[in-house]
Amino acid sequence: MVWVDTFCGCISTRKGSVVIATLSLVVAIPCLIFLSISVHSIAKLGYTYDKVGNAITISALVLIALYVLSSLFLLCAAENNVRGLHLPWLIVHPLATVGLLAFLGYFAYFSFIYPPLAQYNIPIVFAMFIVFWILTYLWVVVVGNYQRLGKTDSEEATRLLVGWDGMAYPQEMSRPMTKAWAGGKVAPGDVDNKISEVVTE
């Protein structure tokens, strides 16, 4: 069972996965550059007094690097319909989502305990819910494309013949049914002929 068939109700999950991979790269690459500069500064200047902060920065760098790499895999997977290459992004994306929410949660907590920033606590919490919803939906779309590529050949043939949600294509509805179709049995040769007719038209 495929969770979703479209991305935002207008394009297929395949094209949606291409869009999602592209957006992921657009967002992640600048973050990767910024964190690389930060880690380089830490190593060059010897900021060893904040060990917790340094560990968080390095962990974020590794996570973002994995996210960039998995997004490249997803882009190739969606373009070429390679099911297995979806898995790295499907694993890394939830980790990146948790990391981003933890980062926003830290600022929300800091805004609650630091009075001058109290005006930002509600917007930050609201942003956390919006970010969680958007990132979860993006993950579901990619899962839908992963599931679509895992469908069997017979299921794809049925969809090609009868269309979406059991509705026949207009050109198929106007044609007379053969005895094999009328009796609920389809000969293998008839299936091949009808598939080729739909594809050529």
**H helix or E strand, kind and range, residue 161:** helix 153-162
Average pLDDT (162-188) is 45
Confidence bin at 174 (pLDDT 50/70/90)? very low
Out of 44-53, 85-94, 109-118, the most confident range is 85-94
Q: Kindly state the average pLDDT of the residues 93-109.
A: 86
Residue 185 in this model has a pLDDT that exceeds 50: no
11 strand-pairing partners: 7
- 95 token code pair: 């980790």
Q: Read off the DSSP letter of residue 117.
A: G
Is residue 156's pLDDT more than 60?
no
Q: Residue 2: left if φ>0, alpha if ψ -120 to 50, beta else—which one?
A: beta
1-10, 42-51, 64-73: range with lowest mean pLDDT: 42-51
| Contact between 142 and 86 (Cβ < 8 Å) | yes
Sorting pLDDT into bands at 50, 70 and 90, what band is 52? low
